[in-house]
Amino acid sequence: MSDHDLHLKKFQKELSSGTVSLALLAVLAKAGEPLYGYLIAKELERIGEGVLSGKQSALYPVLRNLEGAGLLESHVEPSVAGPPRRYYRINDTGHEVLRQWTAAWRATRDSVDSVLEGVTE
């Protein structure tokens, strides 16, 4: 039992490593306005299933990395609730990368689906 759980956890971890970046880019591209970490996390929580419903603390480092890679831009605004918030916005490179990633994702999803077709559950 716990052995199966372990396999599942490992699989989820590997599956999430790329998809989370893709999902974050997509959320920011759809939003059309800058969002800060918490809002992005809540948006993913609302629609997230499977690996996207993992711990939301994992999103922050990924956001930072996406910014470091030049796909997002950010600025800081003070907030009454707590520390100043960092708002993220997708830039042109980000849009372009998202387009390519989406194509790669769709192709992968379709072929994985067709491979899985007929596999008894």
Residues at the interface with other proteins (CB under 8 A): 12-14, 16-18, 20-21, 36-39, 41, 45, 53-58, 60-62, 64-66, 68-71, 79-86, 97
**Which of 49, 109 has the CB closer to other proteins?**
49
**Which of 83, 119 has the CB closer to other proteins?**
83
Cα–Cα distance list, 116 to 12, 41, 75, 102, 119 (Å):
17, 30, 44, 21, 6
Report yes or no: 88 and 74 within 8 Å, Cβ to Cβ.
yes
Q: What are phi and psi of 98, to 5 degrees?
A: -60, -40
* Max CA pair span of the chain: 54
Run of H or E residues at 88? strand 85-90
CB of 12 to other proteins, least distance (A): 8
Fill in the amino acid letter for 83: P
**Which of 40, 119 has the CB closer to other proteins?**
40
**Which of 28, 66 has the CB closer to other proteins?**
66
CB of 42 to other proteins, least distance (A): 8
CB of 19 to other proteins, least distance (A): 8
Q: How far apart are the first and last CA of the chain?
A: 18
CB of 119 to other proteins, least distance (A): 23
